[in-house]
Structure 1
Amino acid sequence: MAIDAPYSRKAAALAGLALAGTFLTSIPATAHSAAGGATAARAAGGRPAAHGPGVQVGAAPGVPDVPDWLSAKSWMVSDADTGDVLAAKAPHRRLPPASTLKTLFAVTVLPKFPAGSVRQVSAADLEGVGDGSSLVGVEEGGRYRVADLWRGVFLRSGNDAVHVLASMNGGWDDTAQEMQETARKLGARDTTVKSPDGYDTPGQVSSAYDLTVFGRAGLADPDFARYCATARARFPTSDGFTQIENTNRMLAGSHGLSPYPGIIGVKNGYTTHAGNTLVAAARRNGRTLLVTVMNPRSGENNAVYKEAGALLDWGFDSAGLARPIDTLRTVVRTPSEDRSGDRAKARPLTTDPVTARPEPHGSSRTSAAAGWAGGVGAVVLALAGALAWWRHGRRRGRPPEGEV
């Protein structure tokens, strides 16, 4: 049908305004992230998300202040179960990782070899161990179970044990390349692998975010979780066995520190270039938190452990209160028990967090969806109004010019 021109123009104007409203309301709201968290918090009348230079915290009522004395160049606090990042400072800053890179080495190589298989170590296996490396005491000609080698990696950060396992895995360079591929599959984009043991090598970097991803992926493997939680063990020698202790002082309770309550690992590291680094996990009241700390600058004894402990304390105090500022990608692994044969591979995979869990509050996807829904509703209402107006005009004796 044709519509009377004046009413047609008015109805079109109304529809146009509604359509404009659609596009305006469908612009995604700022996600509650490291970039937008402070603005969102101020708008909501809460405390800004920034707690000191470069520090981001999800603002919410009751969230305690992050300690203001932390000196690390980079750190991050996350929930290992949900993947929520609760607070961070420069989480994607690329820094030398030292032996915390062994977490990625273990995620890549550990699923391949049965714990009870035995390796007789050759001279080639130990070739290239760097000067000043931490060693567990692997000897040429010695016979070692794979489980012993992994205890050497996790407890003593033994670069000699890493070299033997990498040799079993096809060689040093191939293992570095495979670690790089694993990092990419896990969504860890800040990491460049040059030396699988974490030894200072030009161009080798990672970040607090990536190291947290590796720690979380490792904890999904029962063998990784068991090794990284072991405080003391026996290691075979030519004379029998020797007692080894975990160099992670939060776990072993050494060098003037008591074990952190609820500590379950994961891995510490140190080199001259990297300083002290640490990925630490602890569990309390059914909640598991991961903290990564890179290169504290205070010069205080045990600084990396004290700062990690303070961040874990903050995380447990903030449990259920702090809004996530980011979300780690979800890690899916095949069962670690399926390790038949030296080259059997588990598949570290990732899924989009949208398919694994609800969107964080205030995310761009959620805001966009709500905007579109509201805009479409506005169009429907406006068109309904225009039609009613036209019908009202007909009832007042203003029929259209013609009908088809």
Structure 2
Amino acid sequence: VRPHPGVPRVPEVSALSWVVADARSGEVLAAHDAHRRLPPASTLKTLFALTVLPGLPGGLRHTVGADELAGIGPGSSLVGVAEGQTYQVADLWRGVFLNSGNDAVHVLAGLSGGWSATAARMQAKARALGARDTHVRSPDGYDTPGQVSSAYDLAVFGRAGLRNADFARYCGTAEAQFPGRGGWSYGIRNTNRLLTGADGVEPYDGLIGIKNGYTSHAGNTLVAAARRGDRTLVVTVMNPQSGGGFTVYEEARALLDWGFGAAGRVEPVGSLDALRARPQP
């Protein structure tokens, strides 16, 4: 951080890597080990959505086949996609963003050319956005050898996602209904507790969502965005080393609070546009 005189100190956080950035300008206000390559868990679904969502209109209807649900990793988070059931694509996206459903990701990847092709497209999308720390092996974020991202890259994905109206709507949805068998539906709730206030985590004022994640290898990860007045901040927190499973939310809260207090009073230490591919002449 490069603070002007009188700027509050950056809060002490235990995350292995973190970033605070201005979503409009792309300026990085403060960071710690921002390019450290770490497993991203389900925050990688931000890149999946950036890559796949524009080509799959929400109103499209699809009947799920058994092959589309094959190969889901053991212990994966699921929303309850069922073989033979017909869904709107919008239902599947809500399953991805709210329940972090790897089953929904598998179906959407199948509709978008298949698992391997989707991973390759995600990799190309990451490079085009200047996210050079990311290596995609499993589009759903499931722990896979060699799959890594960084706090910087995840902030790039989160910022880019907010520019897509569908992405922004899905990532900011707190609760929805998901179709079940026989014409009935059941409620699903966003697992981003800064958005919902679940499990005793106080909701963050002005939060507009994005994505959390957890695996035993990655620990807790979070990309969060909040708006106050005409300023929007994006924060990434990766794998806090102290506290319990909800520490990731409290560390993100502290960094957002600092960012709103310090914005305009620090010199940027980098830019989320710094590594973006430039068009060839």
TM-score with structure 1 setting the length: 0.68
C-alpha separation in 2, matches of 1:62 and 1:171: 53
**Residue 14 of structure 2 aligns with which residue?**
71
Number of aligned residue pairs: 278
Q: 2:167 aligns with which of 212, 220, 224?
A: 224
**Residue 196 of structure 1 aligns with which residue?**
139
**Residue 72 of structure 2 aligns with which residue?**
129
- SS of the equivalent of 1:235 reads strand
Matched, 1:290 2:244: no
**Residue 116 of structure 1 aligns with which residue?**
59
RMSD: 1.3
Q: How does 1:289-328 map to 2 (within 5 A)?
A: 289-328=233-272
Q: 1:249 aligns with which of 183, 193, 215?
A: 193
C-alpha separation in 2, matches of 1:105 and 1:61: 41
Greater radius of gyration (CA)? 1
* CA shift for structure 1 position 299: 2.9
Matched, 1:261 2:205: yes
C-alpha separation in 2, matches of 1:154 and 1:73: 24
Q: Is the 8 A contact 1:330 1:351 kept in 2?
A: no
C-alpha separation in 2, matches of 1:102 and 1:114: 18
* CA shift for structure 1 position 320: 1.2
* CA shift for structure 1 position 328: 1.2
Stretch moving more, 239-248 or 267-276: 239-248
**Residue 141 of structure 1 aligns with which residue?**
84
C-alpha separation in 2, matches of 1:58 and 1:124: 52
Residue by residue over 1:332-386, the C-alpha shift from the partner in whole angstroms, topping out at 9 and shown as x without a partner, is xxxxxxxxxxxxxxxxx8558xxxxxxxxxxxxxxxxxxxxxxxxxxxxxxxxxx
Residue by residue over 1:198-220, the C-alpha shift from the partner in whole angstroms, topping out at 9 and shown as x without a partner, is 00000000000000000011111
Q: Is the 8 A contact 2:127 2:277 kept in 1?
A: no
Residue by residue over 1:212-233, the C-alpha shift from the partner in whole angstroms, topping out at 9 and shown as x without a partner, is 0000111110000000000000
**Residue 13 of structure 1 aligns with which residue?**
none
Matched, 1:175 2:118: yes
* Paired residue type of 1:251: L
TM-score with structure 2 setting the length: 0.97
Cα 1:94/1:111, change in 2 over 3 Å: same
C-alpha separation in 2, matches of 1:208 and 1:114: 29
Q: Is the 8 A contact 1:281 1:289 kept in 2?
A: yes
Once superposed, which parts of structure 1, at least 4 consecutive aligned residues long, lie more than 6 Å away?
none
Q: How does 1:375-394 map to 2 (within 5 A)?
A: none
Cα 1:169/1:301, change in 2 over 3 Å: closer
* CA shift for structure 1 position 301: 4.4
Q: Which runs of 5+ in 1 are unaligned?
A: 1-56, 332-348, 353-404
C-alpha separation in 2, matches of 1:303 and 1:134: 20
C-alpha separation in 1, matches of 2:135 and 2:103: 21
Q: 2:3 aligns with which of 59, 63, 67?
A: 59
C-alpha separation in 1, matches of 2:98 and 2:274: 27
- SS of the equivalent of 2:213 reads strand
Q: Which runs of 5+ in 2 are unaligned?
A: none
Q: 2:148 aligns with which of 192, 200, 205?
A: 205
* CA shift for structure 1 position 115: 0.7
Q: Is the 8 A contact 2:130 2:274 kept in 1?
A: no
**Residue 153 of structure 1 aligns with which residue?**
96
C-alpha separation in 2, matches of 1:260 and 1:80: 17
**Residue 87 of structure 1 aligns with which residue?**
30
* CA shift for structure 1 position 300: 2.9
Q: Is the 8 A contact 1:329 1:351 kept in 2?
A: no
C-alpha separation in 2, matches of 1:124 and 1:62: 59
Matched, 1:215 2:158: yes
- SS of the equivalent of 2:179 reads strand
